[in-house]
Chains A and B, each alone.
Chain A
Amino acid sequence: MSESLDRTVEITKLARLLGVEAKELAYLDEIPSPALAAFRAQATDRLFAGDADRLRRVAGASRLVPVPLTVKIAQLAFGPLLCAATAGLLDPKHAVKVASSVPVPFLADIAVHLDPRRAADVIAAVPSPIVVKVAKELIGRGEHVTIGRFVSFLPIATLRAAVPEIADDGDLLRVAFVMEGKDNLNELLDIARERVPGLIQAAYQQDLWVEALDLIGHLSLENRAELAEVAATQDVEVLESLVRAAHRIGAWDALLPVAAAMDEEGLRRFAAVLAVAEPDVLDEIVSTALNGPLWLDLLPLTAYLPEPAHAHVAARAAEEDDETLGRLAAAAHEGGMWDAMLPIAVALPVDAQRRLAKLPLLERDDVVRELVRVALATDTWSDLLPLTPHLTPEARAGVAARTGEEDDTVLERLATQAYEAGLWEPMLLIAAAFAPRDQERLARLPLLQRDDVRAAALQAGRHHDLPSLVGVLTEPVRRDGRHRRR
């Protein structure tokens, strides 16, 4: 997302530099933003350096003239553009003396034309009260682009003084959007931390989601988490508006990490909004997650989506090749998110389930053990079972070994769930890989004393040619209820 937005911002700035409307540069729409930024720097250098010698002499001459006269000449003869071009060539102390005597509207005019890179020392030396006044003047004129160019050059103390003076949260968003050096946005948010709810409301009320989503895209994980917390508490209308905007401008790469940082209640509310959104919204979200590194950001959200959405996510994932499928599964494993991945795996078409189960990842003992652990811990045994027939015999043996570590009470629960869910056959395939001791424990379970269950087990055992299981199930039962070895 941020790439298309960054391009828009870059074109706006280049247009400003060249003195034309942005639409006149529409043909630059396809150029990547870093290239546009590099070109703008080159063009700026060209414009500022072209007359450098003459401007340097002007700067030198200004020292020969008393400050009040310099101020007068600056306004009457030089005008803002040339003052801006000369500012960086002045001694900072002298420049500040002049700036302190120039009316604020004229200083604002200069700021519009100033290249902050060339006047960094001067900018840093200007007293905070003057910067604050100029900032307010520029905000009043809608010169967010100008302020955005300066922010990274201002001392933190000056920013602390200026930010509270920008009363409208929408203006803060607009400045952040066009700000240069967006790595500093986290620092800026530190200053405006208590205004986060206001920023979200401004985005909603003033239709500034493009700006807000761009800001989000540049924030650290910690700050996204904080934003997520605030966003999750917003009214449904705000969340709906956010979802629509993210979809419209293709900003899911910025929004998914925010959603992933939400707490349970936030995820539930956000998922509810997605559930009633247009089908192509979910499609776009899944595509974004599948095509980039955001799968782990999508998974927490899927846990709160209704089942049809699982099928949707699964269907899209099934379109991917084995390598991608492997990447998704590995990410889920490494992120400790089998609990969210399992329902998706269950919703995969059978063919994709087979492919998933045959992945080298699923042959790893630690992965199999984790899968079983999660299925037991989250009571999703009946989700895991349909996958197990597709596992390699070795992996199935791993499932059996891990399941066999559970006590009789758990085994009874698992067997009952399997039987009642119509998953008796996959359960028996696992049981067939049990150690003999565990097979005997299974045969002694109360469930297996039911004639219908035992008959179904025997039938399946014979059908699948599982002699050890059939053997243990047909052993006569001793009086004390224990099976007797032949």
Chain B
Amino acid sequence: MARLATAIGAEPPAEFDALSEADRQALADLVETAARDRSELIDRAIDDSLRHIPGLLRGTVKRALGM
């Protein structure tokens, strides 16, 4: 259960205790993979978006983005 709790950042509902260890593991993997994919997507999107910002604005936008 601990692994699943770490993956979702909260204590899962008690009913999930009924799952086998392997199933809880698989579910935790899916959540972690989805979170990782999303993070990578954000990285790429921010890089891509900067290419579309006119040079004049790029510095301001970068600062707003904390880069």
* Bound together: yes
Check if B49 sits within 8 Å of A47, measured CB to CB: no
**Interchain CB contact under 8 A, B52 and A61:** no
The residues in B between 16 and 62 inclusive whose CB is less than 8 angstroms from any CB of A are: 16, 18-20, 23, 26-27, 30-31, 33-35, 37-39, 41-42, 45-46, 48-49, 51-54, 57, 60-61
Query: What are 11 A-B pairs at a CB distance below 8 A?
Result: A18-B34, A19-B34, A27-B19, A31-B15, A31-B16, A31-B18, A46-B9, A51-B39, A57-B65, A64-B60, A78-B45
Q: Does A76 contact B (CB under 8 A)?
A: yes
CA distance A2 to B16 in the complex (A): 20
Flag whether A227 is at the interface (Cβ < 8 A): no
- What's the Cα separation between A25 and B54 when bound, in Å? 45
In contact, A81 and B18 (Cβ under 8 angstroms): no
**A193–B37 CA distance with the chains assembled, in angstroms:** 44
Residue from B23, B30, B41, B60 in contact with A20 in the complex, judged by beta carbons closer than 8 Å = B30
Residues of A within 8 A of B19 (CB): 27-28, 31
The answer on a CB contact under 8 Å between B52 and A76 is yes
Pick the residue among B15, B38, B51 that contacts A50 (CB under 8 A). B38
A39-53 interface bits toward B, Cβ cutoff 8 Å, 1 = contact, 0 = none = 100110111011100
Known pairs A77-B52, A78-B49; A47 contacts B42 (CB<8 A): no
Out of A17, A30, A32, A61, name the residue touching B61 (CB < 8 Å): A61
Q: Apart from A69-B53, A77-B49, what are 14 other A-B pairs with CB-CB below 8 Å?
A: A18-B31, A20-B30, A24-B30, A31-B19, A35-B13, A38-B13, A45-B10, A47-B34, A50-B38, A54-B42, A61-B65, A78-B45, A81-B41, A82-B41
Tally of chain A residues near chain B (CB < 8 A): 41
If A57-B66, A72-B52, A77-B51 touch, whether A47 touches B38 (CB-CB below 8 Å) is yes
CB-CB nearest in chain B for A83: B45
Whole-angstrom distance between the Cβ of A103 and the nearest chain B Cβ: 17
B13 smallest CB distance to A (angstroms): 4
Central interface residue in B16, B38, B60, by most chain A CB within 10 Å = B38
Whether A46 contacts B35 in the complex (CB less than 8 A), given A60-B64, A61-B61, A79-B45, comes out as: yes
B-side contacts of A25, CB under 8 Å: 27
B13: A residues at CB distance < 8 A: 31, 34-35, 38-39
In the complex, are the beta carbons of B64 and A61 less than 8 A apart?
Answer: yes
Contact (Cβ within 8 A) A76 B48: yes
**What are the 4 tightest A-B residue pairs by CB atom distance, in nearest-first order?**
A77-B48, A77-B49, A35-B15, A61-B64
Chain A CB within 10 Å, residue with most, of B7, B15, B33: B15
Cβ-neighbour of A64 out of B12, B33, B35, B57 (below 8 A): B57
B66 and A39 contacting across the interface, CB-CB below 8 Å: no
Residues of A whose CB lies within 8 Å of any CB of B are 17-20, 24-25, 27-28, 30-32, 34-35, 38-39, 42-43, 45-47, 49-51, 54-55, 57-58, 60-61, 64-65, 69, 72-73, 76-79, 81-82, 85
B contact residues around A61 at 8 Å (CB): 61, 64-65
In the complex, what residues of A have CB within 8 A of residue B15's CB? 31-32, 35
Judge whether A42 and B45 touch: CB under 8 Å: no
Across the interface, which residues of B come within 8 angstroms of A82, CB to CB? 41-42, 45
B45 to chain A, nearest CB (A): 5
Residues of chain A lying within 8 A (CB to CB) of residue B53: 65, 69, 73
Verify B34–A17 contact, CB threshold 8 A: yes
Alpha-carbon separation in the docked complex, A23 to B52 (Å): 40
Determine whether the beta carbon of A47 is less than 8 Å from that of B35.
yes
CB distance from B5 to the nearest CB of A (A): 9
CA distance A78 to B43 in the complex (A): 10
CA distance A76 to B9 in the complex (A): 32
The residues of B that contact A28 with a CB separation of less than 8 Å are 19, 23, 27
Q: How far is the CB of B52 from chain A (nearest CB, A)?
A: 5
Distance, CA A30 to CA B31, complexed state (A): 19
Residue with the highest number of chain A CB atoms closer than 10 Å, among B18, B27, B45, B46: B45
Q: Please, which residue of chain A has its CB at the minimum distance from the CB of B24?
A: A27
A64: which B residues are within 8 A, CB to CB?
Answer: 57, 60-61, 64
Q: Is the CB of A69 within 8 A of B52?
A: yes
| Contact between B12 and A42, CB atoms less than 8 A apart | yes
From A32, A43, A57, A78, give the contact of B8 (CB < 8 A).
A43
Contacts of A79 in B (CB 8 A): 41, 45
Partner of B12, one of A32, A39, A47, A78: A39
Measured CB to CB, the closest approach of chain A to B67, in angstroms, equals 9
- Is the CB–CB distance between A43 and B31 below 8 Å? yes
CB distance from A365 to the nearest CB of B (A): 49
Report B49 CB to chain A, min CB distance, Å. Answer: 4
Residues in chain A near residue B52, CB distance under 8 A? 69, 72-73, 76-77
Q: Which residues of chain B come closer than 8 Å to A31, judged between CB atoms?
A: 13, 15-16, 18-19
In the assembled complex, the Cα of A296 lies from the Cα of B61 at a distance in Å of 67
How many whole Å from B16's CB to the nearest CB in chain A? 7
